[in-house]
Structure 1
Amino acid sequence: MGDAGLTDPVDAVVDKDRKLADHVPDRLRAIEDVLFSVVSDIYTNDARTASTVTANERDAIFHHVDDEDVFQFTSRNGEKRAMQIIVIPQDLLFSDIMRRWQVCPGFLDIVGAYGVKTNEDERVFYGWRESGGKDELCYNVPHVERHGRDLRDPWSLRQTACYHQHSSDTECSRWIMLNVSTSSRTKLDRFLDSEDTQCCDLALHARLLATLGRNWTAYIEDLTVALLEQDNKASYCSIDKSRENHSFTVTYHDLQDMHMLQTKIDCASVAVEACVEIGRNCLTHFEGNDGLLLICPTSRQSCRAKLGVYVSDMARHSQALQRLDRRLKGILDLISRVLMFRNEGLLQNFNRHSGDTLDALSAINQQSRIHQATLTQLFATVQADSVLLKNLGIVATVYLPASLVAARPKTVFSSNLIQHVAAASPAAEPQRLVLSPQFWTYVATSLPLMGLTLACTLFLDRRSRRRAVLEKVAAADEGIVSGTGAGTAFASTLPSHT
């Protein structure tokens, strides 16, 4: 290793940095559940307490690079002027690194941004400090990457943190990079392994920022294509709902798509503006600290130019996103007006059809009243005819015995009960009919039978009426039982003794 400070014991921490070390445990304790479960094992003790890991074990941890890395540390050897990437496995306690390198508390805020979040974190972390001949610079770069999953949106908004510590006494630099993607790490490896990597510290910052910002152009192009699709729908859709089959279809689902697109544009705008701020602050910081620009004076201008190009590109992306946001608001307003106009047309049609329906119901009601009056009149006529038929039936029943008696042989017209009175001349026609002296037998027989028949008819009619009255009373009693209970109904049916 080019830095002997990595193998020094913790007891060698000087008193002037103990105040900083006392603040670090409180800052790390808030994020220990997010990062590693072993952080609390270190920071619950005082910073002056000796580490439980021996120097040989720590050296073995630093030289063991086979495990998957959790944090990437880029160390600069002051003697050989060469860049090296050291992969730190999870076995090395992150808190031990923070304490040994005396990392500024501002970097802990950046680390805290990598915890579990319930919403988008739009905080921008950028800061540096100068203490005891040591410069520290840290920032959190938002960027976009293709996630490679089968989802509707192929992009995901990510963030990569960078920490740079430079000691002017030893001219040694230490780097911490968090959440570097595989592709970005490959590009940084190639950059550091190249033969012409004899540049200042600004070169690595410029290369890191340029590598992380390479996908913004493609991402903004995808947002533009999605917005253009909605623009075509809003511009060429039919206002009339009936003619929508021959044009673009606009529904409330498009408003939901526009809302999600607006959210993406807002997040991208915040991220790009953060990148612009980071690039400008890097330029300002390195221009005011020439001691950080160690070698190759001619390459300093090249690094500054590259970083300036990065800032210009990010500013151009920010302007493009602002234009997209203005276009999106206009398209959203147009789609809302189209849907509002359609809703008003549908409401007018609904009101018109409702009026027609009410008119039809009124006509049906009028016809029902006419039919009801006709049925009432018909019912009255049928009831009168029924009474007439009933009376005729009674009369026919009463005269039935007389008819039967008259139908017997040798009676009435077939007997001598009614006789013809002949004229004086035999050739003359009969003049009249006269009753036979025995006609009284017919009357004497028929009248009792008719009286008996009338009595039976009246008896049966009275009996049927009484039965109908009893049925009505029984029905009324059943209604009382169902309404007030069986006990009350039973009491109401008891005979009264008055």
Structure 2
Amino acid sequence: MPPATGAELLWSCNSDSIRAELLDHSPSVFAEVTDQVRVWSIDARIDSFDEHDFSTENDLEPLDQTGPSRDIFFNIQQNHSMDRLRVKLATFTRIVDHYSIFPYFLQAVQGFGLRARSDTSTWNNFHLREKDGVVQACYTLHYVESNGRPTGDPWSFRKMAVYQRHDTRTHLSAWVLIKLPVPLKARLIDKLKKLWLDTQLCHVRHLMVHIIILAYSLHGWRNYLDSLKLRMEKIEEKCLFSRADVTNPYDYAVRFSDLQSIQLLRRKLVRAMSVLESAAGVVQRIQAVLPRLLPDAIRSAPLTTLRAELKDLEMEGQYYQRNVLELQQRSSDAASLLSGLLQHRNAVAMEEISVNAETERSLGQTSANNVRALTAVATLYLPASLLAGIFSTPLVQSEDSGPLVVSAEFWKFVVVLLPMLAVTFVVVDLLQTLWTVRDSKDMDEMKRRRREGLEPKRRRPWWNFGV
């Protein structure tokens, strides 16, 4: 690439630095082996449209009065957003040098090429310079597009770059289009053929191309915003209809991950607003320079038509921006409400834990005291009762203060004792079950009264088994 010219020295950019930077990044920006540059050529004299692969010998011709009367488009593709451009550095350099493309477009080209993650830049890079009847303009447009993925986010942000060199004396243009979407290519080809046949619009066809490209950049926003609204409604449904104090298996499952989902949605909305504002900036700049790009003899009806088209695009973009602002406000409100709901539920859960711990401690202490008392009494009386019972029966006898004699019927005592022990254990187990049910209901009642701010109810005595 040649060094900066005298005219470029007046520009705000550092031309030599931009060229050197592009060369440094060229291995990741440009293809290494093959070119896939499609050329569209429209000849004004014979009203023909031709599409073919790039040829250095046939396609690099001047746009002045001595050259052929045709518009030429260089369509440079990219397999996907993180791949190199399908053009070799040498081919791209020939095009840049032949049409003296200003360095602002080289800045836009650096935004393409190999990368490990998605590009989050939304800069439109709009620049326009005019000198000696030649107008150069470039910009980058971001848009949203369905990616067709079965899982994950079905929408992706894409971008394309546009450069035009227009000769106001011959009304011919040379274009470099980078990563043009497939539907837009088909639409442009169809429109270009028709614009040449329109006696009024053929002289403003270069401006109509910009309008067609701008219109396409807004094409997918309605469906994209509808998908964001649907996601927002699902989050709001959780926030608005979840019960704050009491949860049950049929209630909405509100988790911290819902706040993360809201934050991801808000990030998408922030980027959406930046992209829309960037596109609005391009529309406004084209509106501002519109009169300078038209010949004096045809500034009436075509100018009115172009202004109406641009105004429509401006209003459509503003409508989408209002939708994004509305979703941003709703997401902010939902995040605040959901955060408060999670905090409230956490406080209620902590209070429940505190009440449970206090109740269980009280019950444990009472049970321990009861068990301790009963154990002490049983321990004291059990030996005496056992001995008195045995010695008061004919099972053990003493004749005339002699030695104790065990009766031959003692085995009957053992046979009767064992079933009685079994019955005793059953009765004890039943009593424990009744006490457990009673204590559980006492605990629930204590929790309820605590939540309602009532005085704790006096505990029932241990012998009260009532429900």
TM over 0.5: yes
Give the alignment partner of residue 222 of structure 1, picking from 218, 227, 237. Answer: 227
- Give percent identity, aligned residues only: 20
Partner in structure 1 of residue 92 of structure 2: 94
1:271 aligned to 2:266?
Answer: no
Q: How does 1:212-251 map to 2 (within 5 A)?
A: 212-243=217-248, 245=250, 247-251=251-255
Contact 1:163–1:177 (CA under 8 A) maintained in structure 2: yes
Displacement after TM superposition at 1:248 (Å): 3.7
Q: 1:131 to 1:318 in 2, by over 3 A?
A: same
Q: How does 1:29-40 map to 2 (within 5 A)?
A: 29-36=23-30
SS in 2 for 1:90: strand
Amino acid at match of 2:135: D
Question: Which residue of 2 is the match for residue 316 of structure 1?
Answer: 319
3-state DSSP of counterpart to 1:93: helix
Look up the match of 2:22: 28
**Cα 1:366–1:76 shift into 2, 3 Å:** farther
* Structure 2 equivalent of residue 122 of structure 1: 122
Taking a change above 3 Å as real, the CA distance of residues 21 and 250 of structure 1, as seen in their structure-2 partners, is: closer
| Corresponding position of 1:111 | 109
- The answer to whether the 8 A contact 2:75-2:179 is kept is no
Deviation at 1:288, TM superposition (A): 3.9
Q: Which amino acid aligns with 2:268?
A: K
Give me the whole-angstrom Cα distance separating, in 1, the residues matched to 2:185 and 2:105. Answer: 21
- Relative to structure 1, the CA distance from residue 66 to residue 358 in structure 2 (aligned partners, 3 Å threshold; closer, same or farther) is same
Q: Deviations over 1:262-319 (max 9, x none)?
A: 111111111111111110111112234434x885842232122111110111011111
Q: Kindly tell me: are residues 64 and 124 of structure 1, through their superposed partners in 2, closer, same or farther at Cα, counting changes over 3 Å? A: closer
Query: Aligned partners of 1:371, 1:342: CA distance in 2, in Å?
Result: 42
1:367-408 Cα shifts (integer Å, max 9, x gaps): 787799899999xxxxxxxxxxxxxxxxxxxxxxxxxxxxxx
CA separation of 1:299/1:266 partners in 2, compared to 1, >3 Å: closer, same or farther? same
CA contact (8 A) 1:38 1:93 kept: no
* In the alignment, structure 1 residue 261 sits paired with structure 2 residue 261: no
Amino acid at match of 1:274: S
Q: Structure 1 residues 186, 155: CA separation in 2 closer, same or farther (over 3 Å shift)?
A: same
Equivalent position SS for 2:127: strand
SS at match of 2:52: coil
Cα distance, 1:211–1:64 mapped onto 2, change above 3 Å = closer
> Helix, strand or coil: the match of 1:31?
helix
Q: What pairs up with 1:12-411 in 2 under 5 angstroms?
A: 16=6, 22-23=16-17, 25-36=19-30, 65-66=52-53, 83-87=71-75, 90=87, 93-115=91-113, 116=115, 118=117, 120-194=120-194, 195-196=197-198, 198-200=202-204, 201-243=206-248, 245=250, 247-291=251-295, 297-363=300-366
Distance 1:183 1:190 in 2: 11
- Retained in 2: the 8 A contact 1:255–1:335? yes
Counterpart in 1 of 2:450? Answer: none
- Displacement of 1:352: 1.0
Q: Partner letter of residue 307 of structure 1?
A: L
Q: Distance in 1 between matches of 2:8 and 2:340?
A: 65
Secondary structure of 2:136's counterpart equals strand
SS at match of 1:358: helix
CA contact (8 A) 1:75 1:83 kept: no
Query: What's 2:415 paired with?
Result: none
Query: 2:453 aligns to what?
Result: none
C-alpha deviation, 1:138, in angstroms: 1.0
CA deviation map 1:64-114 (0-9, x unaligned):
9358xxxx9999897886545455673562122222222221112211222
Q: Is the 8 A contact 2:134 2:168 kept in 1?
A: yes
**Structure 1 unaligned blocks of 5 or more:** 1-9, 40-62, 379-498
Name the structure 1 match of 2:37.
none
1:250 partner letter: V
Question: Given that residues 239 and 338 in structure 2 are in contact (C-alpha distance below 8 angstroms), is that contact kept between their aligned partners in structure 1?
Answer: yes
Residue identity matched to 2:242: C
> What SS class does the counterpart of residue 334 from structure 2 fall into?
helix
Are the structure 2 counterparts of residues 87 and 251 from structure 1 closer, same or farther at C-alpha, using a change threshold of 3 Å?
Answer: closer
Q: Secondary structure at the match of 1:32?
A: helix
Aligned equivalents of 2:376, 2:62: Cα separation in 1: 106
Conserved? CA contact 1:184–1:212, under 8 Å: no
Instruction: Sort the Cα spacing of 1:179 and 1:76 in 2 relative to 1 into closer, same or farther, 3 A.
Output: farther
Deviation of residue 243 (structure 1)?
Answer: 3.6
Question: Within 2, Cα distance between the matches of 1:199 and 1:223?
Answer: 41
> What letter is aligned with 1:157?
F
Task: Show CA shifts across 1:339-375 (max 9, x none).
Answer: 2111111110011112223334545666787799899
> Structure 2: where are the runs of 5+ without partners?
34-49, 77-85, 382-467
Cα separation, partners in 2 of 1:343 and 1:321, compared to 1, 3 Å: same
| Structure 1 position 206, deviation (Å) | 0.6
Q: Distance in 1 between matches of 2:120 and 2:304?
A: 37
Conservation of the 8 A alpha-carbon contact between 2:141 and 2:160:
yes
- What is the letter of the counterpart of residue 109 of structure 2? V
Over 3 Å counting, the alpha-carbon distance change for 1:205 and 1:76 in structure 2 is: farther
Residue 332 to residue 96, structure 1, CA distance change in 2 (3 Å) = same
Judge conservation of contact 2:74–2:176 (CA < 8 Å) in 1: no
- Amino acid paired to 1:142: H
Largest Rg, 1 or 2: 1
TM-score (norm 2): 0.63
